[in-house]
């Protein structure tokens, strides 16, 4: 190594720096998939928490309003008023969000499953073995300030009017001034996943843009500082070596005289 020329050493230093920059770019690109997955996971957790609070607030508000409307009325009139209030109500972009109402384990108002009204669903369970009606009723009776939620699979209305089974986050609460009549709603997980994917793409895109701009600016600043410094360093060494060579020649010329 000590026998290599100064020019070669400087060239090797510059090349090693560029190799380092390229290595950083490759590492970022290779970890992009992992970053996307981890970001999606974190966004999923945050959005689920946000959705849970959204459906809790909406259901609590609806229950309180309905409770005041039906206060003091016979139960059959209460159910009729509640049914009229929720029958046409929809939310979410695909109109898959709705409210449904049970009397203990029996549906008394349901906008998408009229065929279930009046039938006891005490033993109803989804494909994962979740007795969702029982769990919703139990959480409705013992709701907390933080909110208790039930994850289950249920039929989802599609834009063409047909139904499909999809996982759902559900929340239920007793309607005030009624005898164990509870209202519930939920958000389907596949709808939530769409929000997660869109937000993940936006965040990753912005993150990649920031990384790319930072690397470009870093390389430009590095080139502005590094190359003049290397040039001056190399020129100074060459100048010093030439001066030394001149002094040696002068010394030997004087000595020989």
Residues 74-92 have a mean pLDDT of 93
Q: How far apart are CA 131 and CA 235, in angstroms?
A: 82
**Strand ranges of the sheet holding 150-157, from the earlier edge strand across to the other edge:** 106-109, 99-103, 181-188, 163-174, 150-157
* pLDDT tens-digit readout, 120-174: 999 999 988 999 999 999 999 999 888 999 999 888 877 776 778 888 899 999 9
Give the per-residue pLDDT at 155.
80
* Planar angle of CA 127, 128, 131, nearest 5 degrees: 90
- Other Cβ atoms within 10 Å of 238 Cβ, number: 12
Residues 88-98 have a mean pLDDT of 84
Q: Identify the architecture of domain 50-189 in CATH.
A: 2-Layer Sandwich (3.30)
Tokens at residue 206, please? 């912005």
Query: Is it the case that residue 245 has pLDDT exceeding 90?
Result: no
* pLDDT tens-digit readout, 16-65: 767 776 777 677 666 666 766 777 677 777 777 888 888 999 999 999 99
* More confident call, 177 vs 97: 177
Residue extents of the structural domains in the chain:
50-189
What percentage of residues in the chain have a pLDDT greater than 90?
39
Give the per-residue pLDDT at 1.
46
Give the containing element (helix H, strand E) for 164. Answer: strand 163-174
Give the per-residue pLDDT at 158.
73
Query: Is it the case that residue 89 has pLDDT exceeding 50?
Result: yes
Query: Is it the case that residue 184 has pLDDT exceeding 90?
Result: yes
Give residue 92's pLDDT band: very low, low, confident or very high (50, 70, 90): confident
Q: How far apart are CA 67 and CA 175, in angstroms?
A: 5
Query: Is it the case that residue 84 has pLDDT exceeding 80?
Result: yes
Mean pLDDT of the chain: 80
Query: Is it the case that residue 94 has pLDDT exceeding 70?
Result: yes
Q: How far apart are CA 64 and CA 177, in angstroms?
A: 9
Tokens at residue 53, please? 């609070």
């Amino acid at each position: 190594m000590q026998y290599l020329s100064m020019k070669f050493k400087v060239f090797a230093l510059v090349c090693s720096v560029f190799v380092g920059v390229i290595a950083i770019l490759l590492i970022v690109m290779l970890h992009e998939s992992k970053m996307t997955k981890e970001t999606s996971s974190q966004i999923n957790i945050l959005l689920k928490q946000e959705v849970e609070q959204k459906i809790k607030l909406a259901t609590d508000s609806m229950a309180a309003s309905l409770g005041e409307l039906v206060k003091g009325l016979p139960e059959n009139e209460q159910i009729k008023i509640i049914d009229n209030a929720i029958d046409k109500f929809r939310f979410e972009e695909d109109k898959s969000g709705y409210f449904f109402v049970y009397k203990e384990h029996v549906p008394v108002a349901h906008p998408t499953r009229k065929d279930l009204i009046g039938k006891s669903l005490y033993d109803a369970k989804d494909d994962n073995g979740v007795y969702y009606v029982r769990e919703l009723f139990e959480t409705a009776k013992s709701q907390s300030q933080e909110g208790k939620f039930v994850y289950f699979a249920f039929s989802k209305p599609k834009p063409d009017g047909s139904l499909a089974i999809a996982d759902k986050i559900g929340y239920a609460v007793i309607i005030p001034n009624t005898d164990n009549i509870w209202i519930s709603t939920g958000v389907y997980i596949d709808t939530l996943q769409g929000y997660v994917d869109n937000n993940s793409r936006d965040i990753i895109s912005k993150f990649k843009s920031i990384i790319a701009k930072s690397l470009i600016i870093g390389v430009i600043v590095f080139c502005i500082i590094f190359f003049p410094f290397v040039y001056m360093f190399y020129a100074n060494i060459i100048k010093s070596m030439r001066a030394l060579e001149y002094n040696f020649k002068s010394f030997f010329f004087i000595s020989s005289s």
